[in-house]
């Protein structure tokens, strides 16, 4: 399940499509892990965009947060952080599967 809280940031439909396309690999991997929940919140303060993601799956939960000058930079940074953490959970699952 994916939830997007835009806060005080106005997102165009093209921005939403961009975010979803960048998160596609992470979402697919998270669905394979099971019990995948992703909550993204956006907030603009001054010229900066603050973006945070709360992710939980069967192997744990984690938070990612970034503050960037542009929306595109925030998208890039948060998707990179989310995918890296989900990939580590997937590796942990693989290790547990081979240990059994």
Q: Which two tokens stand for residue 37?
A: 């929940």
Q: How confident is the model at residue 95 (pLDDT cuts 50, 70, 90)?
A: confident
N-term to C-term CA, the chain: 29
Q: Which two tokens stand for residue 90?
A: 């997937």
Please give the residue range of the domain that contains residue 58: 2-99
Over residues 22-55, the pLDDT tens digits come to: 999 999 999 999 899 999 999 999 999 999 999 9
pTM, full prediction: 0.87
Tokens 């900066």 belong to 48
Domain count, the chain: 1
- Torsional class of 81: left (φ above 0), alpha (ψ -120 to 50), beta (otherwise): alpha
Which stretches within the chain are classed as H helix?
13-22, 24-33, 71-99
Say which CATH number the domain at 23 has: 3.30.160.100
């Amino acid at each position: 399940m994916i939830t997007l809280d835009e806060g005080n940031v106005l997102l165009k439909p093209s921005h939403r499509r961009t975010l979803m396309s960048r998160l596609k690999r992470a979402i697919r991997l998270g669905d394979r892990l099971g019990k995948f929940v992703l909550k993204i919140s956006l907030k603009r303060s001054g010229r900066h965009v603050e973006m945070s993601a709360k992710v939980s799956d069967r192997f744990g939960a984690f938070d990612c947060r970034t503050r960037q000058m542009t929306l595109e930079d925030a998208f890039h940074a948060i998707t990179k952080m989310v995918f890296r953490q989900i990939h580590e959970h997937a590796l942990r699952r693989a290790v547990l599967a081979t240990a059994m």
